Structures are given as C-alpha cells and as structure tokens.
Amino acid sequence: MTKIAIIGGTGLTSLKNLQLDQREVVHTPYGEPSGPLVHGKFADTDVVFLPRHGSGHTIPPHKINYRANLWALKEQGVTHIIAVNAVGGIRDDMGPGVLVVPDQIIDYTCGRSNTYFEDGLESVVHIDFTEPYCQALRSVLIQAAQSAKVEIIDGGTYAATQGPRLESSAEIRKLERDGCDLVGMTGMPEAALARELNLCYAALAVVANWGAGKVDGAITMEAIETCLNEGMQKVRSSLEQVSKFL
C-alpha cells in the first residue's frame, strides 16, 4: 500500500489544509528526527508531514539528522517521499519562482552522516544511484503540477552544497561547468538514504533566488522569503493534486 510523506523545506514548515490527526514524537536508533511527525489528511489522502528544519525553522542544513528523519518515516510504513527543497537557480530558464523536478544530483556536501551501512555489516553494501530519484514519483509530481496549472520543469541536475553559507559567484560558475542547474543544501544525503531504505523519493524544487553572481548584487534573506512565499503557493496547489496520479 502507498503511504506518502512530505518533507517540507525552507518556506514550508507547515501544510495549510492538512487536517491534523496527531503529532507523534518518535525516537530512532540514529537519534531524534527534526521534530514530531505530523499525521493527517491532505486532499483526502493520509500523509505524514515532517518539516526538515524543525517546526520553528531552527535546524540548519548541515545539522539536520537526515538518517533519523528517513528512518522515522520508514518505520511509520511510509513508501513514498516528496521532498520539497528551496534552491538557487543556475540554468537560464530556472529563475526565481520556477518549480523543477530534478532528475540528477551531484553531492558536494562533506562531513554529514550519509549512510546506514557502516557498522556491524556482514558485508559491504553499495546501493545503485544511477537514477537518484524515483521516476514514477517524479512523473506523479509533474502531472500534479500540470493538473494544478502550475508550470514545472521536468529534469535538472541538483547540486547539493554544504552550506550554511550561500556560494561565491566563482563556485556557481564551477557548478555550472559541472553541469548543475540548481543549487541547494538539503538534497543530500537525504536522497541516498531514502534509496538505502528502498523508499520511492522525488524532489519538488522551488527556485528562491538566482545563484550567486547570476545577477548583480547580494542575495538577501528578505528577497528569498518573498519569492518563496509565492513559490510555496504553487507547491501547495501541486501537492493537492498528487493523490489523483498515484
């Protein structure tokens, strides 16, 4: 049976229109998740919602306990995870306000606990990550956005950076040369851990700003927030359509 979880990113710390059933504090062998799991009905479908940065948006990207978050969701019987991520846009058609369902990732993070397969193994495990996202769920997200009349770009390479600072303009130029289209700080190790747990995982990326140096001037948190408010409206309308296409 399909059971959906939504991991909310910056700008999506709660789901309006979620009919709340219960909040559940859970513990995992990997420590505490970002907060209580929020169980409820969203557009007539049972979902579990987890704000990645905590309900007060206080946990920075490099401090998120990604292993505990995904483990907790798996233990609830979750089969599919929709990850919502705020990102910076690099590719010319990926400017502020645009929604993208990425199809590839390059991992530039460091020092994060990025696997369940490290201690007490009978043998070494290497998961396949050729296609880092679940194609079936990617296609559901694209159909849902189209059904909500929200423009969405199918495919793009997500650069996962360590943060919490934003990039220099030279770093953005380097990411561009590497073939990256979007840059964010939370895509990894989340996607890889989901694969290790056999969860179907796809991301809905919302462009909050142009990557550093793509336009003149500094990137301000105010500008990011304004843009995300509008972008998250599109995310909410798209998510409301998801159950039609599962």
Closer residue to ligand HPA in complex, CB, 94/145? 94
Q: Which residue is nearest to ligand HPA (CB)?
A: 88
The phi, psi pair for 173, rounded to 5°, reads -60, -40
- Shortest separation between residue 90's beta carbon and ligand HPA, angstroms: 9
- Shortest separation between residue 224's beta carbon and ligand HPA, angstroms: 6
Q: How far apart are CA 195 and CA 199, in angstroms?
A: 6
Q: How far apart are CA 112 and CA 190, in angstroms?
A: 10
- Shortest separation between residue 165's beta carbon and ligand HPA, angstroms: 9
Which residues neighbour 179 within 8 Å (Cβ) at sequence distance 6 or greater? 106, 157
Closer residue to ligand HPA in complex, CB, 10/238? 10
Coil, strand, or helix at residue 164? coil
- Shortest separation between residue 59's beta carbon and ligand HPA, angstroms: 15
Q: How far apart are CA 39 and CA 48, in angstroms?
A: 5
Closer residue to ligand HPA in complex, CB, 65/209? 209
Q: In 3D, which of 99, 116, 77, 199 has the Cα closest to residue 150?
A: 99
- The DSSP code sequence of 21-50 is EEEE---BTTB--SS-EEEEEETTEEEEEE
Looking at residues 55 to 114 of the shown chain, list those that interact with ligand HPA (rule: CB under 6 A): 86-88
Q: How far is CA 57 from CA 36, 52, 193, in A?
A: 13, 8, 22
Count of residues interacting with ligand HPA (CB under 6 A): 12
Closer residue to ligand HPA in complex, CB, 157/209? 209
132, amino acid identity: P
Residue 202 · residue 6 · CB < 8 Å? no
Looking at residues 175 to 214 of the shown chain, list those that interact with ligand HPA (rule: CB under 6 A): 183-185, 208-209, 211
- Shortest separation between residue 172's beta carbon and ligand HPA, angstroms: 8
Is the link from the previous residue into 189 a cis peptide, with omega within 30 of 0? yes
**Site map (CB under 6 A) of ligand HPA, residues 150-179, x = contact:** -----------x----xx------------
Furthest-apart CA pair in the chain: how many Å?
54
- Shortest separation between residue 62's beta carbon and ligand HPA, angstroms: 12
Closer residue to ligand HPA in complex, CB, 87/137? 87
Closer residue to ligand HPA in complex, CB, 51/88? 88
Residues interacting with ligand HPA, by CB under 6 A?
Answer: 86-88, 161, 166-167, 183-185, 208-209, 211
